[in-house]
Structure 1
Amino acid sequence: MSFLASNLRFLRKQKGITQNELAEQLDVQRTMISAYEDGRSEPKLATLQRIADLLETGIEELLEHDIERLGRRAIQKRNIQILTIATDQNDEENITWVGQKASAGYLNGFADPEYMEQLPQFHLPNLAKNATYRAFELAGDSMLPLISGTIIIGAYVDQLQAIRSGRTYVLVTRTEGVVYKRIFNYLEENGKLFLVSDNEHYKPYEVKGEDVLEIWEAKAFISTDFPNPGDKKKALSLEDLGEMIKDIQLDLQRLKG
């Protein structure tokens, strides 16, 4: 089954392009765009490639993947970005610290070298030398036993598909801001990531792969809170989290049905 008609209509509207505007860019009649979107006609290969380029997708995704229902698939294979790195006077990489108050500004300034230079920087021993690190200060109690104010040291991940289910990451996203969660990777199935809190009082939620700006895999943390051996709180296991996700997905399917 070809998804060309529905994908063309969905991506065109998503970009805010009218049928007339798309027709002008493709040098065809507007009625041809209407016919493509109604499934009454299909473009020749050369035109199809131009459509894919204009809508920033691939021919295979455009024809074979239900983008509106399942989310983008091509986004999984791109690099997240060119990373802005701070260095010291010896040209060694610093760890830049993004505090709670700086999180909102970081969304707009993470690619700006001047902004990044203004943030606090430090070094830590015993970290692998083959990675770039950044520090993020937690807010709230969604990832207990790590409390608000804990600093997560994350190693940069440059590919969405490199996210490993069940591990914790700091994600910088267009929709949710800067968040630290346990991630389950469903990009191959529906183009989305499932974000789960270790504190069971917080509900899991989904983020589209295309909304992810940066990924940092948690490697260490700094905290002034010492663990209490008498604390009987039990952290959720990966098996518990997996079962929770299955239950939530079944509920979502029932609601959609």
Structure 2
Amino acid sequence: MSYWGSNVRFLRKRAGLSQDALAGTLSMTRVKLNAHENGKTSNPTVSDLVAVSNHFAVSIDNLLRLDLAGLTEKELNDLERPKANMRVLAISVDEQNDEYIEYVPVKAKAGYTTGHRDPDYIAALPKYRFPGLAKGKTFRLFPTTGDSMVPVPEGSDVLAAYVADWQAIKAETLCIVIMRSEQDFVFKQVTLIGKDRLQLKSLNEQYEPYLVKLEEVLEIWEFDRYISRVVPLQRTELDDIKSLLLDMRRDLKRNKN
């Protein structure tokens, strides 16, 4: 029995891709991809097998013979071959092989950039469970600081899902970004610019967007929810005035240039 079609569909959904998006990446039509996923292609071509195998970093043998949907995330990670735009993640699991949600406290921030792939470091982090989370994803909890993402309250903890394929990030996706050069976590709206840069944009309009190179990034985690003891405040007239003054200052700067 071949699991080709169901595995292609599973891997696509696991990566958060639409059929149109994956078909475009694989240089095939959506109709052809749909036929693969629904078992209407009994003998996929060698070029299609190779394209899917290379994109998801899973061997052709495993695509054909294993039911990937029945594996745990750890087992899937063990199967995957590292590739340029896919990242390998260290995780911790319980006795039933279910993943924990690790929390990276403030005091652990400084060591995260060097220990994020060390199983012993990850195993030593505080661990939690959350009900109702999407299956097939790996989650981690990060503390935030500052007011750049207001109305998300300052000091909130952000629960986020691991992003393996950075090229699939949609424009202005809320993410935690782990930088190589910073011993902190950047919580921003993330947009892929070309194939080698990210635009990081705050929700608070008082902060200017900026660009970083992908080579400066260690990990990206997509926002799922935040946890806070603070009730977000409604926008006030003073906030509107501040935004107006900020826009005026930007216009003056552009005119001056």
Q: TM-score range by the shorter chain?
A: 0.5 to 0.7
* Matched ranges for 1:90-239 at <5 A: 90-176=96-182, 177-188=184-195, 191-228=196-233, 231-232=235-236
- Find the partner of 1:88 among 75, 86, 94: 94
Distance (whole Å) between structure 2 residues aligned to residue 233 and residue 223 of structure 1: 25
Q: Is the contact made by 2:162 and 2:222 (CA closer than 8 Å) also made in structure 1?
A: yes
| Paired amino acid for 1:82 | V
User: Per the alignment, in what secondary structure is the counterpart of residue 113 of structure 2?
Assistant: helix
Write the distance in 2 (CA, Å) between the matches of 1:119 and 1:204: 32
User: Does the 8 A contact of 1:100 with 1:139 survive in 2?
Assistant: no
What letter is aligned with 2:95? Q
Tell me: CA distance 1:235–1:99, structure 2 relative to 1, closer, same or farther (3 Å): farther
Q: Secondary structure in 1 aligned to 2:106?
A: coil
Question: Which amino acid is the alignment partner of residue 220 of structure 1?
Answer: R
Alignment length (residue pairs): 165
The change in CA–CA distance for 1:225 and 1:213 in structure 2 (over 3 A counts) is same
Which letter maps to 2:160? G
**Structure 1 residues 217 and 234, CA, compared in 2 at 3 Å: closer, same or farther?**
farther
Taking only the aligned residue pairs, the percentage that are identical comes to 38
How far 1:146 sits from its partner (Å)?
1.5
Displaced runs of 4+ in structure 1, greater than 6 A? 233-236
Q: Distance in 2 between matches of 1:161 and 1:89?
A: 34
Deviation sequence 1:219-241 (CA, Å, 0-9, x none): 1111111234x5537999xxx9x
Contact 1:187 1:209 in 2 (8 A): no
Alpha-carbon distance in 2 for matches of 1:81, 1:235 = 40
Deviation of 1:171 after TM superposition, in Å, equals: 0.8
- 8 Å CA contact 1:95–1:123 kept in 2: the answer is yes
Query: In structure 2, what residue type is equivalent to 1:136?
Result: F
Inter-partner Cα distance in structure 1 for 2:198 and 2:147: 21
Contact 2:92/2:123 (8 A) holds in 1: yes
In the alignment, residue 178 of structure 1 is paired with which amino acid? Answer: F
Alpha-carbon offset, residue 203 of structure 1: 2.1
TM value normalised by structure 2: 0.57
* Distance of 2:138 and 2:115 partners within structure 1: 18
TM superposition shift of 1:79:
3.3
Q: Deviations over 1:137-157 (max 9, x none)?
A: 101111111223211111111
| 1:115 alignment partner, SS class | helix
Q: For residues 194-249 of structure 1, what are the alpha-carbon distances to aligned partners after superposition, in whole Å with 9 as ceiling and x for unaligned?
A: 10111122222111011111110001111111234x5537999xxx9xxx9xx89x
CA deviations on 1:149-183 (whole Å, 9 max, x unpaired) are 21111111111211111111011111344211011
Residue-by-residue CA offset, 1:48-97 (whole Å, 9 max, x unaligned): xxxxxxxxxxxxxxxxxxxxxxxxxxxxx723431001112322101111
Task: Report the aligned-residue RMSD.
Answer: 2.9
1:92-147 deviation per Cα after TM superposition (whole angstroms, max 9, x unaligned)? 10111112222221111000111111111101001111100011010111111122
- State the AA in 1 paired with 2:93: T
Query: Do 1:138 and 1:147's aligned partners in 2 also have CA atoms closer than 8 Å?
Result: no
Asked if the contact 2:157–2:226 (Cα under 8 Å) also holds between the matched residues in 1, the reply is: yes
Q: Mark the runs of 5 or more structure 1 residues left unpaired by the alignment.
A: 1-76
